Amino acid sequence: MSIIFCLIGNLYAQNMAEIKNSLSIKQQSIIPIAAFCAKGDLQKLKPALNEGLNAGLTVNEIKEVIVHLYAYCGFPRSIRGLQTFMEVLDERKAKGIADKMGTDVTPVNTEVSKYERGKENLEKLTGMPQPESKSGYGDFAPVIDTFLKEHLFADIFDRDILTFAERELVTISVLSSIGGVEPMLRSHLNICMNLGLIPKQLNEFLEIIKAKIGKKEAKAAQVVLNEILNNR
């Protein structure tokens, strides 16, 4: 009998470890919401939004996902996504479904300048200090460095409704689905790993992209991920 209990205990421990090393149901739900919204596929976005709510995402979390992605695919896609989400919530309310609103954003400490807050967040994301002098596109067009630091990495990333890891899942979902932005995808996949996402979870992410978005998009993103893993 003790052997049986020991085997059951080992299986339970293995299952728990497997669950811990996999994307959560909520994390999995974020991926198609962000990807369909970025592609402007509103017909497929609707069931993805329903699945996200059913998986436990709050209304405010999904709103934040859709707001966040505008920085990577533009206001038109984001606004159409929010309008579609409003339709979904109205339909669910008409069916008697009461969705959880969730917590709102915590006020941000404004004593530190936006630029410095953005710089600090970027250092947390990348795990590397930010250089004092600008280079590349930041040197070529300094204003975009200011916009990135002050708006994207301060105004947006300072909002605590989503974790940094969840925001990066949104980001790589957008970048993988729109294509043609491999250098940015490479940077953000590295950020995902710096934030604690493991190769197994990133491959799970690609399986969702393959199943929901398309083989072409998943294949292109897989090439980038393989390069990163081979160089680590």
Greater confidence (127 vs 13) lies with: 127
Same structural domain for residues 89 and 172? yes
Same structural domain for residues 97 and 30? yes
Distance CA 113, CA 116 (A): 5
Same structural domain for residues 39 and 153? no
Give the model's pLDDT for residue 2: 53
Same structural domain for residues 149 and 99? no
Same structural domain for residues 56 and 119? no
Find the mean pLDDT for residues 78-86.
98
Distance CA 73, CA 40 (A): 10
Q: Is the pLDDT score of 98 beyond 90?
A: yes
Asked if the structure places residue 16 within a domain, the reply is no
What are the structure tokens assigned to 162, written together?
């989503």
Q: Report the first-to-last Cα separation within the chain, whole angstroms.
A: 46
Answer whether 64's CB lies under 8 Å from 161's CB.
yes
Same structural domain for residues 132 and 62? no
Asked if the structure places residue 184 within a domain, the reply is yes
Same structural domain for residues 188 and 122? no
Q: Which residue has the tokens 């339709």?
A: 87
- The pTM of the full predicted model, rounded to 2 decimals, is 0.89
Same structural domain for residues 153 and 167? no
Asked if the structure places residue 41 within a domain, the reply is yes
Asked if the structure places residue 173 within a domain, the reply is yes
Structural domain count of the chain = 2
Q: Is the pLDDT score of 46 beyond 70?
A: yes
Q: What is the mean pLDDT of the chain?
A: 91
| Total residue length of the chain | 232
Same structural domain for residues 88 and 171? yes
Asked if the structure places residue 5 within a domain, the reply is no
Express each pLDDT in 146-197 by its tens digit: 999 999 999 999 999 999 999 999 999 999 999 999 999 999 999 999 999 9
Give the model's pLDDT for residue 109: 77
Same structural domain for residues 79 and 126? no
Nearby residues of 49 by Cβ (< 8 Å), 6 or more positions away: 33, 62, 84, 85, 88
Confidence of residue 17 (pLDDT cuts 50, 70, 90): very low
Distance CA 154, CA 74 (A): 18
Domain encompassing residue 121: 108-158
Express each pLDDT in 135-149 by its tens digit: 888 889 999 999 999
Same structural domain for residues 199 and 152? no
Confidence of residue 28 (pLDDT cuts 50, 70, 90): very high
Give the model's pLDDT for residue 181: 96
Same structural domain for residues 131 and 168? no
The CATH number of residue 61's host domain is 1.20.1290.10
Asked if the structure places residue 209 within a domain, the reply is yes
Confidence of residue 75 (pLDDT cuts 50, 70, 90): very high
What are the structure tokens assigned to 40, written together?
């402007």
